[in-house]
Structure 1
Amino acid sequence: MGRGEREAVARGARLYEAAQAVGADHGRAVEAVRAALKPIHDAEVARELDAIPVARLQDVTEGRLRLGNVEKSGLGTVGRVLEAGPYRLRQIPGVGQRTVDQIIAAARRLSEAVHETVAVHIDVDRPEPGTTALVGALHVLVEAGPDARRAVDRAAALSERLGPLLADAGPVTGHLRMLLAGREKKARALAAVAGIRSLVDEAEQAGVPELLAQASVDLLRGSPSDVTAWVDFELRSAEYYSLLAEISGRQPDAAAAEGFLPDEIAERVRTQQLDDAHRRVSLRGYQAFGARFALAQRKVILGDEMGLGKTIQAIAVLAHLAAEGQSHFLVVCPASVLVNWTREIEARSALRVMVLHGPDRHHAFADWKGRGGVGVTTFDALRGLPVPGGGEVGLLVVDEAHSVKNPRTKRSQAVARWTERCERSLFMTGTPMENRVAEFRTLVRMLDDKVADSLGERDALAGSVAFRKAVAPVYLRRNQDDVLTELPSLQQTDEWEELSASDEEAYREAVREGNFMAMRRAAYLRPEKSAKLDRLREIVQEAAENGQKAVVFSYFRDVLGVVQAELAEGPTAGTPMLGPLTGSVPAGRRQQIVDDFAAITGPAVLLAQIQAGGVGLNMQAASVVIICEPQIKPTLEHQAVARAHRMGQVRPVHVHRLLATGGVDERMVRMLESKTRLFDAYARRSAVAEATPDAVDVSDTELARRIVEEEQARLGMADGKPTPAE
């Protein structure tokens, strides 16, 4: 055997060692999480058991136990019984060995049930050594990101294939071994060398050695400083909780995560592959299932409740199809979320994205048609774009699909034409549609005539077995309560909007005057054509459709007045509205308003000045928070959000910060983000900072002056005289 064979085996051995190392590094990182989780989980279980009265053991044994003497002895809870043990129980008068055995067996059954169901809550406001260790251990895996998971999967596959080949190729590593090997072993060794060479070449062409090396580096970084880990947890809590659920094995109920689909459809979806080569975000189990559902069923409606990540699931589908060789995709959405879509695709995938909107949309369309990528357009702009030929577009995504439920509108007709020409379509809506069979049938008909024809009025009852079975081929909806296994998380979304022409005109006037405060609220000065107000109304309406309460914060009383007037009309008119809470409302009256808000059954809206409602009032009845403009003091936003995201909140809190592109909002966000994140986090946890926010925030006057001067220069108004303070 020559040098070439030995070198091929050596290359295979190096790749095998790298794969084994990645697996071991990842295993150690996972074990570190489990080690940190166990004492916290055990303590939670103990607390839970100590809160269960010993009388509950009767339920487990169908009332056969006599527990009077046990309770009289001071063992009043299941936790105390388990702690006492058999010997202590036998000392109780009137309690025999058989009763002791039954009590212990029943208590252990309850303990096992609690172990399976109790969830660990990571309290960012009260960091303890145990939870700090857990967050630090999780940080290593979260920071390593999807590439590390991809590397671990590749490493496992390579190890499985290379291990046997390297064993069979052993004789070629030495002349004597090859001479002593029999004919069969020699043939097997040569075949193994060919297999190793092919595997290594394929891996090197795909960049696998570099992927494995980087993953090992990332997984061996070790835990960061405590403050760094906590800051990152605040920013990416959903990723931490997702990993925690996966490692602890406490995943949501499988049937709920799969939308209670019939077995034959669910099985088809489970076997659907999902390529993540072009994706830059990890998926939760139910999100991966949603993406597979869209791929397996080809034309579907994803109706997940707001906040479950429909956009991420759509991006996962786009990334998979791109990996399969598809080149052209189109996303259709309201103008208010167009910027969000482009930013999400850029951040969450490696796909090229192009906006097909505005005066240059036809040139952009020609460029997209020639070069490919993900085109993002609006419902109105879609009407002016030429309908593609069959097979040209790999996937059509229609966001806020309930907007096209009326077949007589031009936008609905345009979407229907495009859907007909596309082999795959993904309609998305967070608005529950089950009770609106006529409207729902319109959407379904664009995707599948047969399913639409099968929907009768008798199936209208939401969640009915008949309805779910009828729509299962095209419709998947999951609810937060069913699939989010952790305690309520905090999800923050920056809602970037493009100013309308009217908004832009009002903004320029404020810049020309050098009036910083007017610049901040310019997007609301002309409500009839306000892009921010349009998006705010959509968020409130979707929250109401899902039975959620919303709180709207603004620094400005006049902005709240505009919001109040706008929400009192149109689709949101029927939603109860309270406030506004302002600095002039007495403290006692403020609390009464909040109490009234909490007492309302179903959706409601509370309006509040952020400086008045952000301190001292508990608004945990709200699970949707809308901040109308970025604040000069970051502490104002943190305190306001904390009013809703606190103990007693039973649903995840979704924070929407309304931001306008290209002006004061972007400059404020950029300047405030340039401050050290660690300092901000430390200050937020400081008792002094909570009492005196001014102590840790940048100077209002200095920040305002800089922004006004930069905006005047950008817009060619450098001679203006800024008046930042009002």
Structure 2
Amino acid sequence: GGILADDMGLGKTLQTLAWLLWLRTPSAPPQTPDAGPRPLPSLVVCPKSVTDNWRAEVERFAPGLRVKVWSGTAAEDLPALTGTADLHVLNYTQLRLVGESLARTDFQAVILDEGQYIKNPSSQTAQIARALRAEHRLVLSGTPIENRLLDLWSLMSFAMPGVLGSRAQFTQLYDAKEDPHARRRLSARVRPFLLRRTKSQVARDLPDRVEEDLYCEIEGEQKTLYRAELKRAQQMLLKVSTQKQLNQDRFHFLTSLLRLRQICCHPRLVKADSKAESAKLEALLDQLEPLMDEGHKVLVFSQFVSLLDLLKVALAEKGWPVHYLAGDTENRGAVVRDFQAQPGGSVFLISLKAGGFGLNLTAASYVVLFDPWWNPAVEAQAIDRTHRIGQTHKVIAYRLLIKDSIEEKIRALQKTKRALAEDVLGEEKFAQALTLDDLRFLFAD
């Protein structure tokens, strides 16, 4: 087993299919003695948004594999029907649904796509994944460390159980902050089991990617709402002087952070009947106007589905073609295919959580991140929906940020808290939970 941690957009799915085809050839390592003459089936577990992509990639690159994508609760029948396909595809929700019975089934290989879904080793998903039986285990993740080193331990405990020791041993050997050699030891230990190549190493002919921060200024009712919420948060913070007090009141501070970020996006996210204008919406329309006139395709990401609904109305009023993908979107594959194939300019509104990874959207060459996320790795994944193999144009990504607001400070925290993953894998990431000092910084005038 191991982790394929190639940079996003370098074809981890295609490499996996080539490997699965090789496993089914006579020259591949033998299976368990009682497996019988026919190779065992394999299992892919992936986010719901990319199940259709796996089917499409198999049909395109490995038509000899019989693939079955399970939908909804029909997955409950999978344990009894493993012989009906060479490759079964489930989403992570379905894995939790059928995991207990599936753990009694033998597979040739189990692949976890976007393996960061099991980064919490105590989660039900991670425990079920570790219980699956397979000759080979593979994790696919362009970001095997998102927030903490324990992410990597959890992924490795699935792919190569025991290689990094127990959780306690791992913390002592590799996560001791006072030990300057701990990260170097970890890097050496995982190197035989983790393959990572970056775009700069293997895709030098990939077009450039340019990222630019665009600043907007709020005014009027939007500014009044923001200042009132900020003042409320500052007053709460004055009553907190220790980490223990912060932990007791953390929910209230996180709620206030959420409200401030929502106000930056659109006043109606916190006050449904507000007639106030959104500075960001105006900036977005200004950016899109020439792009639509020139026939470009644009991806717009937000973590707030309610905001995407507002944007959908505003863009439709402009007469621009709009595509939409959120967590509850049905027929995602058809939506993606329509966007890719439709001629002329169009805008794809995408929930950061539902569509920030796994999708191939190379028809677009412009990306707008409407609101910043704490973890820059998540933002990088979103941009890499279009900056990947198959892209022939320069990719330009814009971040819309409210000047002198919490959003600027989120960007500052992103830039100062990247050291962890750089030490081990050389990629971006974000830190653990916010400290009292972080909150003082975020809520300062």
Shorter-chain TM-score range: 0.3 to 0.5
Higher relative contact order (CA 8 A, sep 6+): 2
User: Normalising by structure 1, what TM-score?
Assistant: 0.30
User: Normalising by structure 2, what TM-score?
Assistant: 0.46
Q: Which has the higher strand share?
A: 2
Q: Which has the higher helix share?
A: 1
Larger Rg: 1 or 2?
1
